[in-house]
Amino acid sequence: MVTASISPDLIVLAACLTILAMNDATNAPWPYPRPDSPPLLTPEQAEHTLNVWLVPRFSMLTLFCLLEPLRVANRFGRHLFAWRLLSAYGDAVVASNGVRIDVDGTLSSLEDASRLMVVSSYEAEATVSSQDRAVLRRIAAHGGWLGGLDTAPFILARAGVLAGHRVALHWESVPAFRREFPTLEISLTHYEFDAMRLTGSGGSGSIDMMLAWIEHAYGPALADAVGRQLIHARPRDDGGDTPRQHFGELPRSVTQTLAVMEANLVQALPIPEVCRLVGQSQRQLTRLFQRHFDETPQQCYLGMRLDRARQLLTDSRSLVTEAALATGFSQPAHFTRAYRKRFGEAPSATANKR
């Protein structure tokens, strides 16, 4: 019987490495963003939930490009996005590549004002029933948010929920769609995004579409940070006519800080905690912000929160107290003073202009 001897030096080295690993796991903060966070969220935990109806023979690429930006966005914020996969009857769905995907529920179980994305590809209408289309009409009638990718705009259009909206879909389907729905305006961009409808060509273009949604919800810094994590270069525009602001020339720690701030507007983080998350000292971060923005991180963060509050008061039916709470202000008087100083009017005056 042959026995192998182990050098005492190797034993000591292994013990040291084990101790270091234990210290890292229990005490040391992970570099930003943390590679082990967050866990997958439930709808009850997340600020936004996307329901995804998988139609048989859907595109797996489209599904992955739809969900991965949301997963990555959760690494930069707190509980931002969750998703639920649905089928017509709650059974597993087979994609066009033959992979079977389990789902979380049925299409008919959706609440009236849900956010629903339809993902289809080949033979989009083959399995869609009148009851399925009735669910789409019910969601639309109650102010729900509807989307469709690849060939799914056919399903939405046949349900009668795309009137008055520009429609983007896979380029191969454009001629047939134009013939069947001559009154609907077709867009040649990869996606069309408005307040209540989101349609797109599917495939890898879904990444840009979801980054646009992230930007709409949490600002361009978070969207750009997610794009970098996905090794995905964002186009110079959002698929429409509105130019975007880019942060490519800023230091990485500054763009990371902006992403953390924009992902945490509801519950504002202390600046030392922001610095910890991005792995930068407060003194160095302040110096960088003053160089690039002529203001401190605290001033920049406050401005982001107030800008979001103004957006809520302008573009939605939010009350002043709701806008304040949604941007991390627990004291109405403090919110009103800061708002008036930034915009020259009280938040109630902004709300009354709607």
Q: Is the pLDDT of residue 314 over 80?
A: no
**Tokens 């042959």, located at residue:** 2
Cα–Cα distance measured from residue 107 to residue 136, given in angstroms and rounded to the nearest whole number: 9
Alpha helices per DSSP H over 230-278:
252-263, 271-278
**Tokens 């903060």, located at residue:** 29
Q: pLDDT, tens digit, for every residue of 150-163? A: 999 999 999 999 99
pLDDT of residue 28: 35
The whole-model pTM stands at 0.66
Work out the average pLDDT over 214-234.
83
CA 335 to chain centroid, in Å, comes to: 27
Pair 202, 117: CB distance under 8 Å: no
Q: pLDDT, tens digit, for every residue of 77-119? A: 668 899 999 999 999 999 999 999 999 999 999 988 789 999 9
Work out the average pLDDT over 275-297.
91
Q: pLDDT, tens digit, for every residue of 255-279? A: 889 888 988 888 899 999 999 989 9
Q: Specify the CATH class of 48-215 in words.
A: alpha beta
pLDDT of residue 26: 34
Cα–Cα distance measured from residue 193 to residue 200, given in angstroms and rounded to the nearest whole number: 9
Q: pLDDT, tens digit, for every residue of 15-69? A: 443 333 333 333 333 334 545 555 678 888 888 999 999 999 999 999 999 999 9
- Helix pair angle (205-218, 60-76), 10° resolution: 30
Cα–Cα distance measured from residue 189 to residue 187, given in angstroms and rounded to the nearest whole number: 6
Query: At 11, is the pLDDT very low, low, confident or very high (cuts 50, 70, 90)?
Result: very low
pLDDT of residue 251: 86
pLDDT of residue 239: 42
pLDDT of residue 129: 94
Higher pLDDT, residue 229 or 325: 325
- Helix pair angle (220-229, 60-76), 10° resolution: 120
Residue 170 phi, psi (nearest 5):
-60, 140
Cα–Cα distance measured from residue 303 to residue 259, given in angstroms and rounded to the nearest whole number: 14
User: Tokens standing for 235?
Assistant: 């186009």
Q: What superfamily does domain 300-352 belong to in CATH?
A: Homeodomain-like (1.10.10.60)
Q: Where are the domains of the chain?
A: 48-215, 300-352
> Is 300-352 the same fold as 48-215?
no
pLDDT of residue 193: 86
Residue type at position 84: R
pLDDT of residue 46: 87
pLDDT of residue 255: 86
Cα–Cα distance measured from residue 228 to residue 69, given in angstroms and rounded to the nearest whole number: 10
Q: Is the pLDDT of residue 335 over 90?
A: yes
Q: pLDDT, tens digit, for every residue of 140-186? A: 999 989 999 999 999 999 999 999 999 999 888 888 898 899 999 99
Q: pLDDT, tens digit, for every residue of 239-252? A: 433 334 445 568 88
178: left (phi over 0), alpha (psi -120 to 50) or beta: alpha
CA 151 to chain centroid, in Å, comes to: 22
Query: If you average pLDDT over every residue of the chain, what do you get?
Result: 83
The DSSP string of 307-353 is HHHHHHHHHS---HHHHHHHTT---HHHHHHHHHHHHSS-HHHHHHT
- Percent pLDDT > 90 in the chain is 48
Residues in the chain: 354
pLDDT of residue 294: 86
pLDDT of residue 152: 95
